[in-house]
């Protein structure tokens, strides 16, 4: 354990609260669910974060996914630096956008064309609009606990019934918007079938995290995704995979490759920008040609295809394509971490479930399998708070929420993993 000094972080947080709502620009950063003062980061390199007080942490969030090969990787930084000398933004087409699109299309299954946007939220929002325009239908199905950004259609919670119209869970979202979003529980195919029966020829699309990362890491049960594919095909609806987290992280072909299921539209996030703000959505020519200027569905963005983001993303995807061993390395490291955590947990009296796939993993303090949002919420949050702060005191930075997946990066060494496992063994009796 090291003495965690966060005097400067505390001062910076106090200053930020005066000019930024909540002192943060994304709510999870505020440490509300774990308590304490958020840490302000000064810089990052490889597997490590260094905060404004000089504390060093092993990073298990990887900027919420995109830092697959670690922070400030030389190839990414070089690409950014070289492009920045040529200008940061044009708002005019560049050859780099086409090169990046060709590379992405060559790697991602079932995609003929791609449109670049500025974030995962924008990608998912645009994908749903495209699906509605293509099918000429209004309603979508989403799953409780799956997060697709903060567009109005997605900030919906379940009503009192098992499968029902959603109701807004944020002020500012109209009831009419919520009424077009239908809710089901992740891994419950019967609820999805009921929705198709109740609203025939009205459902434009199902949008889903094929492997969820926003209720912890939650895997689809056997045949669940295949059955969603069949239901969409049978009912003339589109299947949208939100691969903002899983795309290019779990495999070059993302969850589509891992699960062997083809989506109609796929969305991507920061990983295709090497961590810079960027997103994309893609699909078949038939669907994508419905976008303006070729088709009637409008979507635009002044900074879409930003040259710095494209240069960083191109460097990232080229690296992953040329170094497929990175996936084996990440999978092995995650399995090693999981085994170490399970060894300590098996000797304790704590209830626990560990979910993992590839380089995504999460620990839940519950005796019951975590298969959806309801079972994720059953975990003991007091245990999680103690776990989070205990690991922080040993220089291990975990997601400050029980409902987030951890993301390993390949810069993490086995020495780092051993330190994480040893630290966990020391704090487990205090959880």
Q: Is 242 a catalytic residue?
A: yes
Q: Give all strands (DSSP E) within 86-159, no chain letters.
A: 113-117, 139-144, 156-157
R_g over Cα of the chain? 21
Burial annotation 196-214 (CB, 10 A radius, 16+ → b, else e): beebeebbbbbbbbbbbbb
Burial label for 308, CB within 10 Å (0-12, 13-18, 19+), is buried
Q: Is 332 a catalytic residue?
A: no
For residue 142, list its beta bridge partners.
Answer: 183
For residue 293, is the peptide bond before it cis, meaning its omega torsion is within 30 degrees of 0?
yes
Q: Which is catalytic among the residues 139, 142, 270, 333?
A: 270
Q: Which is catalytic among the residues 51, 180, 242, 410?
A: 242
Q: Which is catalytic among the residues 48, 147, 186, 352?
A: 147
Burial annotation 82-102 (CB, 10 A radius, 16+ → b, else e): ebeeeeeeeeeebebbeebbe
d(CA 136, CA 142): 18
Closest Cα to residue 414, out of 58, 2, 45, 16? 58
Q: Is 147 a catalytic residue?
A: yes
d(CA 303, CA 118): 7
Are 180 and 139 contacting, i.e. CB atoms less than 8 angstroms apart? yes
User: Catalytic residues, which ones?
Assistant: 147, 242, 270
């Amino acid at each position: 354990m090291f003495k965690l000094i966060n005097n400067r972080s505390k001062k910076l947080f106090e200053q930020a609260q005066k000019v930024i709502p909540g002192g943060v620009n994304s709510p999870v950063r505020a440490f509300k669910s774990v308590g304490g003062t958020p840490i302000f980061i000064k810089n990052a390199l490889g597997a490590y974060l260094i905060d404004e007080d000089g504390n060093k942490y092993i990073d298990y969030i990887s900027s919420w996914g995109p830092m697959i090969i670690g922070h400030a990787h030389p190839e990414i930084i070089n690409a950014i630096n070289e492009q920045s000398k040529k200008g940061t933004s044009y708002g005019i087409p560049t050859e780099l956008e086409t090169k990046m699109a060709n590379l992405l299309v060559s790697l991602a299954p079932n995609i003929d064309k791609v449109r670049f946007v500025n974030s995962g939220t924008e990608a998912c929002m645009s994908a749903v609009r495209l699906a509605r325009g293509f099918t000429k239908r209004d309603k979508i199905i989403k799953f409780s606990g799956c997060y697709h950004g903060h567009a109005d259609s997605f900030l919906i919670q379940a009503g009192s019934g098992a499968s029902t119209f959603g109701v807004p869970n944020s002020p500012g979202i109209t009831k009419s918007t919520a009424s077009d979003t239908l809710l089901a529980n992740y891994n419950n195919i019967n609820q999805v079938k009921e929705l198709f029966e109740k609203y025939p020829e009205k459902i434009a699309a199902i949008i889903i995290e094929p492997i969820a990362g926003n209720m912890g890491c939650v895997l689809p049960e056997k045949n669940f995704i295949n059955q969603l594919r069949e239901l969409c095909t049978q009912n003339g609806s589109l299947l949208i995979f939100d691969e903002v987290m899983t795309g290019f992280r779990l495999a070059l072909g993302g969850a589509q490759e891992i699960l062997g299921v083809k989506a109609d539209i796929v969305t991507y996030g920061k990983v295709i920008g090497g961590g810079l703000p960027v997103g994309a959505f893609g699909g078949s020519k038939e669907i994508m040609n419905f976008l303006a200027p070729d088709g009637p569905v409008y979507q635009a963005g002044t900074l879409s295809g930003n040259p710095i983001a494209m240069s960083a993303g191109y460097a990232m995807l080229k690296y992953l394509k040329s170094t497929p061993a990175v996936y084996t390395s990440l999978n092995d490291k995650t399995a090693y971490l999981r085994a170490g955590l399970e060894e300590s947990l098996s000797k304790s009296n704590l209830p626990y479930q560990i979910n993992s796939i590839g380089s995504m993993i999460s620990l839940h303090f519950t005796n019951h399998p975590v298969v959806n949002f309801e079972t994720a919420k059953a975990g003991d949050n007091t245990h999680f708070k103690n776990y989070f702060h205990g690991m922080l005191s040993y220089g291990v930075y975990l997601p400050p929420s029980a409902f987030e997946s951890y993301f390993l990066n390949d810069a993490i060494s086995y020495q780092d993993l051993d330190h994480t496992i040893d630290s966990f063994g020391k704090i487990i009796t205090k959880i």
